[in-house]
């Protein structure tokens, strides 16, 4: 009797897991986009980053440098410069991956805009850098358009 019940429960559990994993907002929401972004950075996957970032919007940021520990903002003149900065030996990739990254709450600021809090922790200096990644929907996909440092 137990073997029969186990055979019935296991397929039902697998189907439930598949169904919940395929739900629309769960697999493409703002927080999931940020998690995918860090995964693409880790793999140096510029093609994936192009899919996850709104590069024209990021290029408009000339007031603040998102690498966190720089003295003056860098100005990027091409999308490729941003991709190079976020992969390989880029300053932002080196800086962000030298720190502990904590992805926390998501705040919906509109129907198609959101902020995702990411804290970068420098354990040696006992310092945390709170950022809010700005995301918006572009053609039904969430894209990061800002890496604003809060404090």
CA pair distance 149, 147, nearest whole angstrom:
6
Residue 10 lies in a domain: no
Mean pLDDT of 78-99: 95
Mean pLDDT of 82-92: 96
Mean pLDDT of 25-32: 74
Residue 99 lies in a domain: yes
Beta bridge partners of 138: 141
Bigger pLDDT: 75 vs 138? 138
Residue 94 lies in a domain: yes
Residue showing tokens 């991709």: 83
Pick from 61-65, 118-122, 133-137: least confident: 61-65
Residue 14 lies in a domain: no
What is the secondary structure of 90-137 as a DSSP string?
-HHHHHHHTSEEEEEEEEE-SSSEEEEEEEEEETTTTEEEEEEEEEEE
Assign residue 54 the CATH number of its domain. Answer: 3.10.450.50
What is the secondary structure of 25-48 as a DSSP string?
TTTTSHHHHHHHHHHHHHTT-HHH
Residue 21 lies in a domain: no
Total number of domains constituting the chain? 1
Residue 11 lies in a domain: no
Tens of pLDDT, residue by residue over 117-133, are 999 999 999 999 999 99
Residue 13 lies in a domain: no
CA pair distance 58, 45, nearest whole angstrom:
18
Which two structure tokens, joined as six digits, stand for 22? 């395929």
Q: What is the pLDDT of residue 149?
A: 76
CB 82 within 8 A of CB 53: yes
**What is the average pLDDT value for the chain, to the nearest integer?**
82
End-to-end CA distance of the chain: 60
Which two structure tokens, joined as six digits, stand for 124? 């040696």
For residue 79, count CB atoms less than 10 angstroms from its CB and return exposed for 0-12, middle for 13-18, buried for 19 or more. Answer: middle
Residue 15 lies in a domain: no
Domain that holds residue 64: 28-149
The CA dihedral of 141, 147, 148, 150, to the nearest 10 degrees, is 110
């Amino acid at each position: 009797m137990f073997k029969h019940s186990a055979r019935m429960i296991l397929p039902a559990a697998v189907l439930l897991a598949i169904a919940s994993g395929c739900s629309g907002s769960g697999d493409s929401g703002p927080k999931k986009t940020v998690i995918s972004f860090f995964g693409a950075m880790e793999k140096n996957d510029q093609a994936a980053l192009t899919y996850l970032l709104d590069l024209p919007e990021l290029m408009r940021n000339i007031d603040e440098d998102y690498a966190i520990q720089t003295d003056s903002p860098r100005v990027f003149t091409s999308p490729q410069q941003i991709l190079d900065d976020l992969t390989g030996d880029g300053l932002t990739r080196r800086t962000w991956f030298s720190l502990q990254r904590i992805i926390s709450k998501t705040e919906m600021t509109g129907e198609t805009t959101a902020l995702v809090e990411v804290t970068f922790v420098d354990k040696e200096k006992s310092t945390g850098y709170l950022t809010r990644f700005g995301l918006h929907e572009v053609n039904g996909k969430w894209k990061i358009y800002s890496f604003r440092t809060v404090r």
